[in-house]
Structure 1
């Protein structure tokens, strides 16, 4: 897969290993190391991979990349100043060596992972595709994805997340994407960046230094994204403003969302029956259509991919427990994704035509000084959606309940998720539809397990 010589040239590592020796893979997980792989000893706040180097070698690792040699065999060690930087440099060198592989990079405040899944599904109808696993979209996850490229890989679909300025730029440099997608600009990471303008600036780093042979696929309905500049060819998508890939005739049913799209890329027109709910998923699908058409995917294959789409778990995952429907959207939360979730809840409730709509909500994190107002807005979203009952827990989520209560919604605020589960059990009735949502660390999905004994 990658030779010692390539690694030394990329990282300036010191080693007694032979230049021509070829590692069969690169891993940072000592528990899953495979024979012939290079184990990279990363360090974090609560762990140090150097402690597991001997174990990795015993498990068959052909070598270890470390910052200090310790008591390890000299002919198995590559020494660098910083193992994380070296890991990234190895991934970049490997990506550059795969000259025929195209990279599609996706960023945005919301919808990155769902868009990635839909893009990969469309492209996989014609090409050998790999994609970011789960949401491994940071300075460790992106190199992991790039190092998963295989000799027969034709396209890699990668997700790029950030928590501050400069981070998307660094990830873009690693991946060298041919096509980029920006889904939207929202309030996620407001605590760290301070304003939507700064968040937009951070996201737009993915557009820097792109050339006319590159393609930038941009949300034409998003004010900040639609005003971004780049040297790449621009393809816009949306359902409100006039776009190159345009969605219309959106209808929500108990089984998903149908819509029609027209494309100025190829002149195509298609009808999609998406097994997902909500206008936000239509937007994600339109981005996938734009990418698909950029790579020459036919209307028939786009329809086939989207009509059978499956998303990463905990992203508006529909679960059925007898007559009760649960919407597991518990992976993460922001004001924009909360608004989209309540629209979906209302549309699904209207399509079902019976029962009640309920929401179990927890804190949205990293909103800084805007947190109180942002949570209050969620209370208003809930009221506007006609939600029958809201159950909340968390210090910030109390502002959701208080605002919703002012607007006439029945609310129950709880100390923790366990109490929220008890309250939901006590209030649940046949044919209820329940939305579960909050930031990842609030573990709202555990409430589902407690209520329905999963």
Structure 2
């Protein structure tokens, strides 16, 4: 190619690089908002997490913002310096070409964190595109006298690159009003439909952790005698419950078991007002999402909304092993049933034992006592099972039927599920969610495994606010004491985790996804037990797939032999 043809082609290469950069930025922003459920407070709370803080304060990001602000001022005042500087133009052109090329490589490797394709994500993408296009058009017109030169292209490209962030955020906020109106219409329809099922018994379950397990265990127990509808997977929001009522509820069902979660006060009250529970189960309270609620008291108030929503003859079922729940249990004025290991609990686990195939617990109620064998792991799951039995008793089952049915429960999806991993290793999949008590309980389960070598793979725990440092110091200490290798898949709280390892710092690693998979491939065998605690995202999803792709339920396989 001649120098002239190269100069003719260069602007088009830069344009392609700019477009790819803008698409990457938009998808990245949408993915971040989607992970935080399009909640401004959750995204702001992420600033406390090292990863997000590092991304926001990265020198290149800050430099782009600075240059973009200066150029915007120049466009407004028509006093051009940086906007027409050839050196700045060359640097920006190089950046866009390299960033665009890097994005193509990410797509080929499937390592880019793309958002889940939904109608809302599509609408936000289109709205953000319009905002970016409008801003870019203004910048283009301001520099129109220069023609379609490289300086104009890179200047407009830089402003568009920064506008993507503003555009997606503005689109989320703009769509809040129509989204709110649509949600209220769905709530009204769901309430009307729910009210027509007068014989339906609804059981609401909430808590900082344990609610999904109790929901699954209770559903299994009740399903031996009744027709049950439950909220699936991790659907526990007010709008999720409303949609389940509209889409799934029929007269065929006798019970509706609804998990209820919240990120702020009022959400459980709204869900309960629609579902109209007769029984409310409160599993636990800790500091999970305290960065959103602001205080422990606010968390307790939010969870107590379920019990406040119960009718006069409604029954509160509470875990009195948890001191905060016990306080709310005492506060509740209506009929109530307590459960736990504690002396004095109405439904009590008096004995507990780990076994190769699961757990063995002795459960007492009034003057009766039953031994329950269940293919689940961990003392915390024994407590969840006792909570499910208590819920079944509140629903009218006999103690004999409830304890017999309790032996049919299975680990909820990705909640301490055991399977055979690569080279005959044991994989304990506890990636459903992550909270401090749950991770500590999972580590306890790992400590009871007979394998010679133990491995932990974990992300940090989000939205702990000021409690994050102490929580991760505790995690680092326990993980390093139990496991031979600890792989942390993000850099949040790196310092706290390392400092707390107490002489075991050599066990703790912060590998890339490629490094982690390489190390696992070289070291896993039948003598290894691997605990995955917390959801793996981004490139680490490939590591999760590698460990669980040949999933064979160890318990089921053992029982079949």
**1:280–1:340 CA contact under 8 A, matched in 2:** yes
**2:217–2:388 CA contact under 8 A, matched in 1:** yes
Q: Distance in 1 between matches of 2:325 and 2:520?
A: 39
Q: 2:187 aligns with which of 88, 91, 94?
A: 88
Match of 2:532 in 1: 436
Determine which structure has more spread, i.e. the larger CA radius of gyration: 2
Q: Normalising by structure 1, what TM-score?
A: 0.77
**2:477–2:502 CA contact under 8 A, matched in 1:** no
Return closer, same or farther for 1:209/1:315 CA change in 2, 3 Å cut-off. Answer: closer
**2:498–2:508 CA contact under 8 A, matched in 1:** no
- Residues 152-171 of structure 1: CA deviation (Å, up to 9, x unaligned): 21000000010011111111
Q: Distance in 2 between matches of 1:184 and 1:47?
A: 38
Q: 2:200 aligns with which of 88, 101, 110?
A: 101
- How big is the shift at 1:97? 0.5
Q: Distance in 1 between matches of 2:186 and 2:226?
A: 28
Q: Distance in 2 between matches of 1:418 and 1:303?
A: 46
Match of 1:317 in 2: 417
Q: Distance in 2 between matches of 1:114 and 1:400?
A: 30
Match of 1:258 in 2: 360
Return closer, same or farther for 1:91/1:441 CA change in 2, 3 Å cut-off. Answer: farther
Match of 2:464 in 1: 367
Return closer, same or farther for 1:133/1:80 CA change in 2, 3 Å cut-off. Answer: closer
Match of 2:271 in 1: 171
Q: Which one scores higher on RCO, CA 8 angstroms, separation ≥ 6?
A: 2
Q: Secondary structure at the match of 2:238?
A: coil
Q: Within the alignment, does 1:395 sit opposite 2:491 as a pair? A: yes
- How big is the shift at 1:442? 6.6
Higher helix share: 2
- Residues 118-156 of structure 1: CA deviation (Å, up to 9, x unaligned): 111111111111111101111221112222111121000
Q: 1:121 aligns with which of 214, 220, 226?
A: 220
Return closer, same or farther for 1:109/1:335 CA change in 2, 3 Å cut-off. Answer: same
Q: Distance in 2 between matches of 1:181 and 1:174?
A: 17
**2:488–2:508 CA contact under 8 A, matched in 1:** yes
Higher strand share: 1
Q: 2:395 aligns with which of 295, 299, 303?
A: 295
How large is the RMSD of aligned CA atoms in angstroms?
2.6
Q: 2:250 aligns with which of 146, 150, 154?
A: 150
Match of 1:381 in 2: 478
Return closer, same or farther for 1:86/1:416 CA change in 2, 3 Å cut-off. Answer: farther
- How big is the shift at 1:409? 5.7
Q: Within the alignment, does 1:280 sit opposite 2:380 as a pair? A: yes
Q: 1:406 aligns with which of 494, 502, 521?
A: 502
Q: Distance in 2 between matches of 1:126 and 1:172?
A: 25
Return closer, same or farther for 1:388/1:440 CA change in 2, 3 Å cut-off. Answer: closer
**2:487–2:511 CA contact under 8 A, matched in 1:** no
- Residues 207-262 of structure 1: CA deviation (Å, up to 9, x unaligned): 11434411000010111111112232111111134201100210101210110000
**2:276–2:310 CA contact under 8 A, matched in 1:** no
Q: Distance in 2 between matches of 1:186 and 1:240?
A: 18
Return closer, same or farther for 1:380/1:329 CA change in 2, 3 Å cut-off. Answer: same
- How big is the shift at 1:300? 4.2
Q: Normalising by structure 2, what TM-score?
A: 0.63
Number of residue pairs aligned between Structure 1 and Structure 2 = 379
Q: Within the alignment, does 1:356 sit opposite 2:457 as a pair? A: no
**2:419–2:548 CA contact under 8 A, matched in 1:** no
Q: 2:437 aligns with which of 331, 336, 359?
A: 336
Match of 1:70 in 2: none
**1:388–1:409 CA contact under 8 A, matched in 2:** no
**2:491–2:510 CA contact under 8 A, matched in 1:** no
Q: Distance in 2 between matches of 1:171 and 1:310?
A: 27
**1:388–1:410 CA contact under 8 A, matched in 2:** no
Q: Secondary structure at the match of 1:406?
A: coil
**1:102–1:154 CA contact under 8 A, matched in 2:** yes
Match of 2:332 in 1: 230
Q: 2:348 aligns with which of 232, 237, 246?
A: 246
Q: Within the alignment, does 1:181 sit opposite 2:281 as a pair? A: yes
Q: Distance in 2 between matches of 1:188 and 1:429?
A: 35
Q: Which moved more, 1:418-427 or 1:198-207?
A: 418-427
**1:256–1:276 CA contact under 8 A, matched in 2:** yes
Return closer, same or farther for 1:308/1:404 CA change in 2, 3 Å cut-off. Answer: farther
Q: Distance in 1 between matches of 2:524 and 2:255?
A: 46
- How big is the shift at 1:447? 2.1
Runs of 5+ unmatched residues, structure 1? 1-41, 52-78
